[in-house]
Chains A and B, each alone.
Chain A
Amino acid sequence: MPAPHLPRHRLQGGLLTLLTYLLALAFLFPLVWMFMAAFKTEAQAFAVPPVFVFTPVFENFQHALGSYFPALRNSLVAAVGSTVLAFILGLPAAFALAVYPTRRAQGVLTWMLSTKFMPAVGVIVPLFLLFRNLHLLDTLPGLILMYTTMNLPLVVWMMHSYMTEIPYAIYEAAKVDGASVAQEFFGIAMPLSTPGMAATALLCLIFAWNEVFFALNLTNSDAAPLSVFISQFKTSEGLFWAQMSAAATLTVLPVLIFGWVAQRQLVRGLSFGAVK
Chain B
Amino acid sequence: MTATAAAHAGTRPSPKRGLRLTPMALIWPAMLYLILTTQVPFFMTVYYSFFRYNLAIPGARPFVGLDNYRNLLSDPQNLHILGNTVVLAGGTLLLTLLLGATLALLLNRDFPGRALLRTLLISSFLIMPVVTAVVWKNMLLNPVFGFFSWLVTRLGGHPVDWLAQYPMASVIGMITWEWTPFAMLILLTGLQSLPDDQLEAARLDGASPWQEFRYVVLPHWTQAIQVVVLMETIALLQVYGEIYGSTSGGPGIATTNLPYFIYQKAFAEYNIGLASAAGVITVVLTNLLAVYLLKLISRTHSGRGD
Q: Which residues of A are in contact with B by a Cβ distance under 8 Å?
A: 13, 16-17, 19-21, 23-24, 27-28, 30-31, 33-34, 37, 45-50, 89-90, 92-93, 95-97, 99-103, 105-106, 108, 112, 114-130, 145-146, 148-149, 152-153, 156, 161, 164, 168, 172, 175, 180-182, 185, 206, 209-210, 212-213, 216-217, 226-227, 230-231, 233-234, 236-238, 241, 244-245, 248, 251-252, 255-256, 258-260, 263, 266-267, 270-271, 273-276
Which of A48, A114, A164, A180 is the most central at the interface, judged by chain B CB atoms within 10 Å of its CB?
A48
Q: Which residues of B contact A (CB under 8 A)?
A: 1-2, 4-5, 7-9, 11-13, 16, 19-24, 26-27, 29-31, 33-34, 37-42, 44-45, 48, 102-103, 106-107, 109, 111-113, 117-140, 142, 144-145, 147, 150, 154, 177, 180-182, 185-186, 189-190, 193, 223-224, 227, 231, 234, 237-238, 240-241, 244-245, 258-259, 262-263, 266-267, 272, 275-276, 278-280, 282-283, 286-287, 290, 297, 301
A270 with B186, Cβ < 8 A, contacts A33-B140, A114-B290, A116-B234 known? yes
CA distance A46 to B135 in the complex (A): 12
Q: Which residues of A contact B144 (CB under 8 A)?
A: 48, 238
CA distance A146 to B36 in the complex (A): 11
For B46, give the chain A residue with the smallest CB separation: A122
Is A256 in contact with B123, judged by CB distance below 8 angstroms? Answer: yes
Q: A123-B42, A216-B244 are in contact. Are A231 and B34 (CB under 8 A)?
A: no
CA distance A28 to B154 in the complex (A): 21
> Which chain B residue has the least Cβ–Cβ distance from A260?
B119
Listed by A's residue number, 29 A-B pairs whose Cβ atoms lie within 8 Å are A20-B117, A37-B139, A47-B145, A96-B23, A108-B27, A112-B31, A118-B286, A119-B259, A119-B283, A120-B259, A121-B262, A125-B276, A126-B41, A129-B272, A148-B37, A152-B30, A180-B21, A210-B126, A212-B130, A212-B240, A212-B241, A241-B138, A248-B134, A259-B125, A260-B120, A266-B185, A274-B297, A275-B223, A275-B224
Complex contact A227–B26 (CB within 8 A): no
In the complex, chain B residues whose CB is within 8 Å of the CB of A20: 103, 106-107, 109, 111, 117
Complex contact A252–B134 (CB within 8 A): no
For the complex, what is the distance from the CA of A30 to the CA of B150, rounded to whole Å? 14
Kindly identify which residue among A103, A112, A231, A255 contacts B126, using a CB–CB cutoff of 8 Å: A255
Residues in chain A near residue B290, CB distance under 8 A: 114, 117
* Contact in complex: A121, B279 (CB < 8 Å): yes
- Report how far A271 CA is from B283 CA in the complex, Å: 21
Q: Which listed residue, A89, A161, A260, touches B33 by the CB 8 Å rule? A: A89
CB neighbours (8 Å) of B237 from chain A are 119
On chain B, the residues within 8 Å of A252 by CB distance are 126-128, 131
Closest to B248 in A: A234
Which of B44, B121, B138, B241 is close to A24, meaning CB atoms less than 8 Å apart? Answer: B121
Query: Could you tell me if A23 and B103 are in contact, using CB atoms closer than 8 angstroms?
Result: yes
Known pairs A234-B137, A237-B138 / 16 extra A-B pairs, C-beta < 8 Å: A13-B109, A20-B107, A30-B135, A93-B26, A96-B23, A117-B290, A118-B38, A119-B238, A148-B33, A168-B11, A182-B21, A212-B129, A231-B134, A238-B138, A252-B131, A275-B193
Closest Cβ–Cβ distance, residue A214 to chain B (whole Å): 10
What is the distance, in angstroms, from A20's C-beta to the closest C-beta of chain B?
Answer: 4
With A48-B144, A92-B26 as contacts: A270 and B182 at CB distance below 8 Å: yes
The reply to whether B8 and A117 contact each other, CB–CB distance below 8 Å, is: no
Please measure, in the bound complex, the distance between the C-alpha atom of A49 and the C-alpha atom of B227, giving whole angstroms. Answer: 43
- 8 Å CB contact of A271 from B133, B139, B186: B186
Nearest B-chain residue to A31, judged by Cβ: B123
